[in-house]
């Protein structure tokens, strides 16, 4: 049975729940022990926020069923975004989820995006080749006329005397209509079938009307009182080529957007070692069962979520939590599937397997957030939703009016002229033309923009959320301060610590050794090395015992540090981890290690505030460390102690405050939040998954590019709006003139071309914008 965790709002299977609590006669299920502990401490605080959670867990299925009926079993096509009835859609299953599509084209794009892009590339090539051929053909004819030619008919074979100017245009244009325009005609058919008006319908109507009209003039010359030289095959070809090129440019930018989930799946190990019938056996990782004992050795990935039952180790959780310092694990501690075991071997009991693991829940959140991340339709589609039906209506009304006046010739010409001048070639390229220039300028600045939907949101952006580790900070601990407790000097303290830490693989040890080498100190091997799990290390150096560790280790060996507590606390309040150094049971000093801020972090926060944008920091660190970092960069609102799976939920909560939110992150654990945010900004030095999920990618590890990316997005969006204006102004002026029969279709085609030229020229001006 599917139930909802009342703390994190995650949907889980009650059979695989990590804990169950009873409150006021109702049962509540939890995805992990941490959620259960939070609930047990103060259940009312969670139930007050989520009144639906007060229902008994078994009623959740009934609630889901009722909701499904209420929305009429509708689904969203993940490719084109169209909302369609499930029972009339094309269904496909992938990665354990059901997807619904409006057409076979969308299915092919989903199942094989690279193949569909290649197919579109071929159609663009055919269309553009045909347009170039038409241009050369017309230029050749004009040159022939200039040279004195008076006959426009070429008869290569005596029994083909009808091989005329119009027939040549028909031959060149027909492949463009068939191959290049295929997608538009299919889209128009679906629009008619579903009783909606879209851009495909108007493009198909305009091009087919010009094409069929011209074909009648050429092959049935007595039917219409029009000369063969006044045909409009070229109009059809140019419209299809331009709009198809615009769609292709947009698809190129988006072609890798589906790679994030595949990269997340690659984190899972293929096999696992489990204890069955008293023996250790290797099995496929997906075959692990709940409560089964799993063995993990140094250097191996943890195959699923669980609780340590034997042994201890240091686990690198950076790939999921984003935190650079490995976490010590002992009996009773939780481990997360997909993370890397560093030094020790241990056994753990599997608590969540399959779809319920933390990694798979992150994958699910990325998929769901990506499919629901577009809150604002493209401006061109908004315009088309009103423009297309209006144009079609005007064309038919105009033709009907002329027929009632007894002039069938003007009826046909006005109908053709209205559709041709209204055909949205410029509207089709308004977004991709500006996007292409904006993306090119961004690439020069080291900023990659993945699509127009992110630009739309940038103009209303009013809150930026920064992940801490690896985003605001370098993600690599450094020895920031050395404080002597007696006559020992800084060099002696750091040298002894480096010798002791030389045998350790802990990142804090690497920070100390790096500092010692920077100071030019000699670091020989220790005579004896002993790790004290969870506390520190003990070594023998030239017969002298050196101990490095935390407060508890000092207490265990009888060293009193109470009078130095103020020093330690002072260092910790600055965001440091403090390592205490003692020699022969005498306190020598303290080494403060911290994840230092990136260059320009403070300037970026100030810059965003100057732009009127609120700044929030999100981190899994404790509150004291988080506040120390936040105060250093000038961030007032800090959200600390955030679990890996909670970041996307917090972004949702911020969006619920009527905020348009940008998330800046670099780790795999940031990917659901990047996808959920209105604008995901991924740091280029971060994980591939974060970069694939982000809508804006900063190639350089320079936080100043966050501000540049936002400014560039806003500038590009302004150009898109200006393009739409120029694309429509010609239509708005020309349609009434065409409807009254005062606009020749040739003039209509020229006006359409002029609007396209205005759009391209205006987009090119974006190169001059200073960011």
184 and 200 Cβ atoms separated by less than 8 Å: yes
662 and 461 Cβ atoms separated by less than 8 Å: yes
Q: What is the DSSP string of 719-734?
A: HHHHHHHHHHHHHHHH
Chain-centre distance for alpha carbon 763: 25
Q: Which residues contact 426 (CB under 8 A, 6 or more apart)?
A: 723, 726, 727, 730, 752, 755, 756, 758, 759
Q: What DSSP character marks residue 333?
A: -
Q: What is the 3-state secondary structure (H, E, C) of 340-375?
A: EECCCCEEEEEEECHHHCHHHHHHHHHHHHHHCCCC
554 and 580 Cβ atoms separated by less than 8 Å: yes
The residue among 594, 653, 592, 593 whose CA lies nearest residue 618 is: 653
**Cα distance between residue 3 and residue 56, in whole Å:** 9
Measured in degrees and rounded to the nearest 5, phi and psi for residue 26 equal -110, 150
Helix axes 704-739, 379-404, angle to 10 degrees: 0
Is 316 a catalytic site residue? no
188 and 200 Cβ atoms separated by less than 8 Å: yes
Among the listed residues 5, 305, 467, 670, the single catalytic one is 467
Q: Residue 386, exposed/middle/buried by CB under 10 A (0-12, 13-18, 19+)?
A: exposed
Measured in degrees and rounded to the nearest 5, phi and psi for residue 341 equal -80, 130
20: left (phi over 0), alpha (psi -120 to 50) or beta: beta
The residue among 536, 559, 555, 542 whose CA lies nearest residue 486 is: 559
**Cα distance between residue 734 and residue 757, in whole Å:** 16
Query: Catalytic residue numbers?
Result: 467
């Amino acid at each position: 049975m599917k139930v909802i965790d009342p703390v994190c709002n995650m949907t889980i299977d009650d059979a695989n729940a990590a804990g169950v609590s009873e409150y006021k006669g109702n049962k509540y299920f939890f995805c992990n022990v941490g959620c259960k502990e939070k609930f047990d401490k103060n259940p009312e605080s969670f139930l007050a926020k989520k009144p639906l959670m007060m229902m008994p867990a078994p009623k959740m299925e009934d609630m889901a069923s009722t909701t499904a009926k209420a929305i009429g079993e509708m689904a969203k096509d993940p490719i084109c975004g169209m909302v369609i009835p499930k029972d009339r859609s094309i269904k496909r299953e992938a990665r354990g989820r059901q997807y619904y599509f409006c057409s076979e084209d969308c299915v092919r794009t989903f199942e094989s995006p690279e193949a569909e892009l290649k197919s579109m590339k071929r159609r663009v090539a055919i269309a553009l080749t045909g347009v170039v051929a038409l241009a050369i053909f017309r230029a050749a004819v004009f040159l022939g006329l200039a040279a004195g030619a008076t006959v426009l008919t070429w008869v290569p074979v005596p029994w083909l005397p009808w091989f005329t100017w119009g027939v040549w245009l028909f031959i060149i244009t027909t492949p463009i209509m068939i191959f290049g325009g295929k997608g538009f005609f299919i889209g128009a058919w679906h629009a008619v079938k579903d009783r909606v008006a879209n851009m495909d319908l108007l493009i198909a109507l305009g091009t087919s009307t010009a094409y069929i009209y011209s074909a009648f003039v050429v092959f049935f010359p007595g039917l219409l009182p029009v000369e063969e030289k006044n045909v409009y095959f070229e109009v059809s070809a140019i419209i299809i080529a331009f709009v198809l090129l615009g769609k292709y440019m947009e698809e190129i930018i988006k072609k890798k957007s589906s790679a994030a989930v595949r990269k997340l799946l690659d984190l899972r190990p293929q096999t696992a070692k489990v204890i069955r019938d008293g023996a250790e056996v290797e099995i496929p990782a997906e075959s692990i069962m709940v409560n089964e004992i799993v063995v993990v050795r140094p250097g191996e990935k943890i195959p699923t979520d669980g609780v340590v039952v034997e042994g201890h180790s240091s686990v690198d959780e950076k790939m999921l939590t984003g935190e650079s310092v490995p976490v010590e694990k002992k009996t009773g501690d939780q481990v997360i599937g997909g993370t890397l075991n560093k030094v020790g071997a241990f056994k753990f009991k599997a608590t969540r397997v399959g779809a319920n693991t933390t990694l798979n829940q992150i994958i699910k959140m990325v998929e769901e957030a990506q499919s629901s991340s577009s809150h604002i339709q493209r401006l061109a589609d908004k315009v088309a939703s009103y423009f297309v039906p209006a144009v079609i209506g005007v064309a038919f009304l105009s033709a009907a009016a002329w027929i009632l006046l007894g002039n069938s010739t003007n009826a046909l010409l006005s109908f053709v002229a209205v559709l041709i001048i209204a055909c949205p070639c410029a509207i089709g390229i308004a977004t991709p033309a500006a996007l292409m220039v904006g993306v090119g300028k961004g690439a020069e600045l080291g900023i990659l923009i993945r699509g127009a939907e992110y630009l739309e949101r940038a103009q209303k952006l009013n809150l930026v959320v920064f992940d801490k580790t690896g985003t605001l900070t370098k993600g690599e601990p450094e020895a920031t301060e050395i404080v002597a407790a007696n006559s020992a000097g800084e060099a002696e303290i750091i040298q002894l610590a480096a010798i002791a830490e030389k045998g350790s693989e802990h990142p804090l040890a690497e920070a100390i050794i790096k500092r010692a080498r920077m100071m030019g100190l000699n670091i020989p091997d220790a005579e004896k090395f002993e790790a004290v799990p969870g506390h520190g290390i003990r070594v023998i150096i030239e017969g002298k015992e050196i101990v490095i560790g935390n407060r508890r280790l000092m207490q265990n060996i009888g060293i009193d540090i109470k009078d130095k507590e103020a020093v330690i606390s002072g260092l910790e309040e600055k965001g440091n981890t403090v390592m205490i150094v003692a020699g022969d049971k005498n306190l020598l000093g303290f080494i403060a290690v911290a994840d230092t801020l990136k260059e320009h972090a403070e300037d970026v926060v100030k810059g965003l505030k100057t732009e009127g944008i609120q700044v929030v920091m999100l981190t899994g660190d404790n509150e004291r460390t988080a506040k120390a970092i936040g105060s250093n960069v000038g961030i007032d609102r800090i959200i600390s102690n955030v679990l890996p799976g909670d970041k996307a939920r917090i972004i949702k909560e911020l969006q619920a405050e009527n905020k348009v939110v940008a998330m800046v992150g670099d780790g795999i654990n940031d990917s659901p939040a990047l996808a959920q945010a209105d604008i995901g900004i991924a740091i280029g030095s971060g994980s591939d998954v974060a970069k694939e999920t982000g809508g804006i990618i900063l190639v350089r590890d320079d936080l100043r590019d966050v501000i540049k990316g936002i400014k560039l997005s806003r500038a590009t969006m302004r150009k898109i709006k200006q393009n739409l204006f120029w694309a429509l102004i010609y239509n708005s002026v020309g349609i009434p003139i065409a409807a009254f029969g005062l606009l020749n279709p040739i003039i209509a085609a020229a006006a359409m071309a002029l609007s396209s030229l205005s759009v391209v020229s205006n987009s090119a001006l974006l190169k001059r914008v200073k960011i």
